[in-house]
Structure 1
Amino acid sequence: MTTPGVSSEVGRLGTVLLHRPGNELKRLTPRNNDRLLFDGIPWVDRAQEEHDAFAQVLRDRGVEVLYLLDLLTETLASEDARSQAVTSTLGSLHLGDTLRAHLGRHLLDLAPEALAHLLCEGLRNDEVRGGHGLVTSLLAEDDFLVEPLPNLLFTRDSSVWVRDHVAVTSLAMGARERETQLTELIYTLHPRFSGTTTIHGWHREHVEGGDVLLLAPGVVAIGVGERTTPAGAERLARQMFGAGLAETVLAVPIMQERATMHLDTVCTMVDVDTVVMYPNIADTLTAHAVTVADRTGDEDSDLVLHVAGAEPFLVAAAKAMRIDTLHRIDTGLDPVTAEREQWDDGNNTLAIAPRVAVAYERNTETNARLEAAGIEVLAIAGSELGSGRGGPRCMSCPIARDDV
């Protein structure tokens, strides 16, 4: 078993957490896909084929692939885990006491595998027998009592490993809150992660994993924009400083719009000193270097932080990484192509080793630029996987990487 630990974006990938798309995607309709944060309605069978091919590409390069649903099922073999999962799932105020009590008994009676599937796929009003009362009478038959979690596909968002600690994040959109609750359950109660130290947590200020880049050992960039708040970035920075996981944190303001929801939608790493970047914002992206100025006590809150003024992102990053230049490979060949391929996750590459990256095959111009720069591109299909606006990096949470 590989020892968990991640100190960079590009060290040889040893173990990764994925979620194979399942029936939760079949819950998407034109009436609810916006609320559930999907831009389209994917063809699920094809999405599964594409995801299986993605996983096989990783295995062919020696990567151990773990599946979130398998880990959740194994975790729910514990009575404590089952109780925690049911309590958090039924905490919504929209259920009412009569229905909550009935569902609580029903969910606790399910076998671990059935419960794991229900927690991911959700539960509609017309799928419940018994528990009838005011709530079930007034809700429509196809209203969800337990919301499905189609965004589980993007395992990067709900947790980030920083060295040998795992940061369980806090997702900003209400439709995704339960994802981090389930992720935290796995990391705290699954035997494989026994002894793992968790930081942050689903109940903290909002931080999403797609906004966190491990630029180098001890250097972490955090995008602040649509999903990650300034307070969330500060909280995570304090915890990383307090645990000795980081020396410098770069706070990176990003545009607050759908196409640039996370830092990794505009910038990812493909080598120890090279990023692939959306050129239409490359010259305006800035960063504030955050370091520890003083410590007045033993708590993370006792750290006095120094926040430097804004500098160009590539300049600030190179300084923090102690390298001369952080090289940039642009997506696309012109501003229009760059914008189209950025929307299709051309920036969202997954490095599985220095100068080896997985990318969607449809981003032909970006992939050509990467190959011209000496990056080996492992191209995968993503016509259906990309309907939720996420690429190979979004769909993967590295658990173990070699140091670089």
Structure 2
Amino acid sequence: MNSTHQLKVSSEVGTLRKLLIHSPDRGLGKVVPSKAQDWLFEDIVHLDTMRREEYDYYVKILLYFLDPEKVKGKLKEIDADASRSFYKPGNPQYFNSDKVIDIQKLLTEILENETIKTKLIASICAVERCSFKIQHKLKEYDASELAKILISGSLPDKSMIFAPVPNFIFTRDIGIVINDYVLLNKPAKTARTRESLLTQYIFFYHSMFEVYRDNIIEIPDNEHHFLLTDDELKSDYLRSTLEGGDVMMVAPRHLLIGCSERTTLYAAQQVMKALFERNVVDTITIVKIPKKRDYMHIDTVFTQVKRNMWVLLGAIARQGDEAKKRDVLHFFAPKEDPDRLQIMQFNKGWENKPTEIENLEDLLTDISKNDLGCAEPVQFIYSGNNEFPFGAREQWTDSCNLLALKDGVVIGYDRNDKTLEAFRTAGFRTVRAKDLLDEFEAGISSPDTLTDTFIMLPSAELSRARGGSHCMSLPILRDDF
């Protein structure tokens, strides 16, 4: 098999070799305050700042680690270009990497096929309830421009024909690679339907995934979903929705699925059935977190830093449980406390009786020691250094949402000061993305030599979108340990 067509992820911290991203598109600049909540975007952002002064560094760091020939020795030339356009497909200076892949590039390539183009236009127009006239007009655009329109919702003349999909920068939510299988997710909100449809077409039609087509898993709806009432469709036990921020491939035979504001128990059960039947994994652990907007997915409350280290929110971990036990009112709370963290582990069969795990630290310790074979003590970094009120404040700006570029080297936001202090206390170097790129260019250090490093990404605008580097990545190839 051609190495450029490899697809396999068996951990959260194996050296990253290939991933899908989506650079901020023009639709992000079209979000208006009155519709921000409906479009699942927390705030309006300044698009140019987000692109040039923040996401730009994210792309450069990714390229230096995954495809260095695209940027090594060229950063001054790239930065001197007034257009600074190398980060978007369709622009003359686009880096065009086959390791750091913008999903817009893949969409453009499948739209070169007239049959696929016609099908996708019809599908999108049906979902967006467009007029026949608009559907006919869309066929006039070439593949590159049409891809921009279908993502951003706006035409080249800046007029809008349907809503933007600002959350498309969070590629983690649209799919997840589990060993050599692809799980296509089912967004909980209708505002993300177009993202899901575009992703479906890309994975089923792009040549990159051709040899894995039989390994693509789609989550089924309840077989009687069309008979359910509106109230029944809101039930965790009848509705089938799942987003990638709630799925973590933590070890070759162990998968975590979060049940959250966006992922239902019904969908988790469907995924368990599909994966156990195909013998993809041996163990699936369900982590049920409170259905709160500030948590949203499990990757907003914990992610892995290295084989024996995790970053997490203390309020839902063991320390949070112990605080509740000291509170007299806890003894009088309803048994089915909606804010209680619950962890159930299923082994080699979704129908088997699960094992209940008491707290998050016990689960993560077990993964590090028994699934990943760590002999070293397992360490925990707490959001905000577990100090009030910084734990909650910094979790809100994605202190727990980190992308591991390799074991012990992560990228996250620069604004979470107390969490960064905790990393430094644990022996990590914290370095600004710009300074690290300067070091790489000067030959002072290289991605290969880095250990125990937190790369700080500028984040004034990105953090307002309520998603961190883990959310902004869909790894499709990592090294095995």
Report what 1:316 is aligned to.
Answer: 363
Report what 1:36 is aligned to.
Answer: 39
Note the C-alpha offset of 1:209: 0.3
Report what 1:402 is aligned to.
Answer: 479
| AA aligned opposite 2:343 | A
User: C-alpha offsets along residues 63-117 of structure 1, whole Å, 9 cap, x if unaligned?
Assistant: 521101111101111223213311221223754xxx2x22222222321112111
Does residue 1:110 correspond to 2:110, yes or no?
no
Q: 1:1-400 to 2 correspondence within 5 Å?
A: 1=4, 3-49=6-52, 50-63=54-67, 64-92=99-127, 94-95=129-130, 99=131, 101-123=132-154, 145-196=161-212, 197-201=215-219, 205-283=240-318, 284=321, 285-293=341-349, 304-319=351-366, 322=370, 326-333=378-385, 334-374=387-427, 375-400=452-477
- In structure 1, runs of 5+ residues without a counterpart are 129-143, 294-302
Task: Decide whether aligned partners of structure 1 residues 199 and 305 sit closer, same or farther in structure 2, where only a CA change above 3 A counts.
Answer: farther
Note the C-alpha offset of 1:28: 0.4
User: C-alpha offsets along residues 26-55 of structure 1, whole Å, 9 cap, x if unaligned?
Assistant: 110111111111111110001111111101
Q: Is the 8 A contact 2:245 2:299 kept in 1?
A: yes
Q: Is the 8 A contact 1:2 1:14 kept in 2?
A: no
Note the C-alpha offset of 1:357: 0.4
CA distance in 2, matches of 1:62, 1:286: 37
| AA aligned opposite 1:329 | I
Q: Is the 8 A contact 2:66 2:100 kept in 1?
A: no
CA distance in 2, matches of 1:87, 1:184: 14
| AA aligned opposite 1:186 | I
| AA aligned opposite 2:381 | I
Report what 1:138 is aligned to.
Answer: none
Note the C-alpha offset of 1:369: 1.5
CA distance in 2, matches of 1:392, 1:169: 19
CA distance in 2, matches of 1:245, 1:56: 34
User: C-alpha offsets along residues 256-294 of structure 1, whole Å, 9 cap, x if unaligned?
Assistant: 11110000000000011321001111124431002234x
SS in 2 for 1:288: strand
Q: Is the 8 A contact 1:216 1:272 kept in 2?
A: no
SS in 2 for 1:166: strand
Moved more, 357-366 or 196-205: 196-205
Q: Is the 8 A contact 1:279 1:335 kept in 2?
A: no
Note the C-alpha offset of 1:240: 1.7
- The structure in which a higher percent of residues are strand is 1
Q: Is the 8 A contact 2:27 2:166 kept in 1?
A: yes
TM-score, normalised via structure 2 length: 0.74
| AA aligned opposite 1:26 | G
User: C-alpha offsets along residues 321-345 of structure 1, whole Å, 9 cap, x if unaligned?
Assistant: 6268753211113031111110010
Note the C-alpha offset of 1:9: 0.4
Task: Decide whether aligned partners of structure 1 residues 190 and 2 sit closer, same or farther in structure 2, where only a CA change above 3 A counts.
Answer: closer
CA distance in 1, matches of 2:209, 2:56: 25
| AA aligned opposite 2:419 | T
TM-score, normalised via structure 1 length: 0.87
Q: Is the 8 A contact 2:170 2:471 kept in 1?
A: yes
| AA aligned opposite 2:199 | T
Task: Decide whether aligned partners of structure 1 residues 202 and 104 sit closer, same or farther in structure 2, where only a CA change above 3 A counts.
Answer: farther
SS in 2 for 1:31: helix
Task: Decide whether aligned partners of structure 1 residues 21 and 220 sit closer, same or farther in structure 2, where only a CA change above 3 A counts.
Answer: same
Task: Decide whether aligned partners of structure 1 residues 65 and 190 sit closer, same or farther in structure 2, where only a CA change above 3 A counts.
Answer: same
Q: Is the 8 A contact 2:219 2:271 kept in 1?
A: no
| AA aligned opposite 1:152 | F
Moved more, 19-28 or 236-245: 236-245
CA distance in 2, matches of 1:314, 1:326: 9
SS in 1 for 2:126: coil
Task: Decide whether aligned partners of structure 1 residues 201 and 112 sit closer, same or farther in structure 2, where only a CA change above 3 A counts.
Answer: farther
User: C-alpha offsets along residues 202-254 of structure 1, whole Å, 9 cap, x if unaligned?
Assistant: 86821100011112111111110100000111111222222222111111111
Between Structure 1 and Structure 2, how many residues are aligned? 375
SS in 2 for 1:398: strand
Instruction: Report sequence identity in percent.
Output: 30
Q: Is the 8 A contact 2:118 2:139 kept in 1?
A: yes
C-alpha RMSD over aligned residues: 2.2
- In structure 2, runs of 5+ residues without a counterpart are 68-98, 223-239, 322-340, 428-451
Note the C-alpha offset of 1:392: 0.6
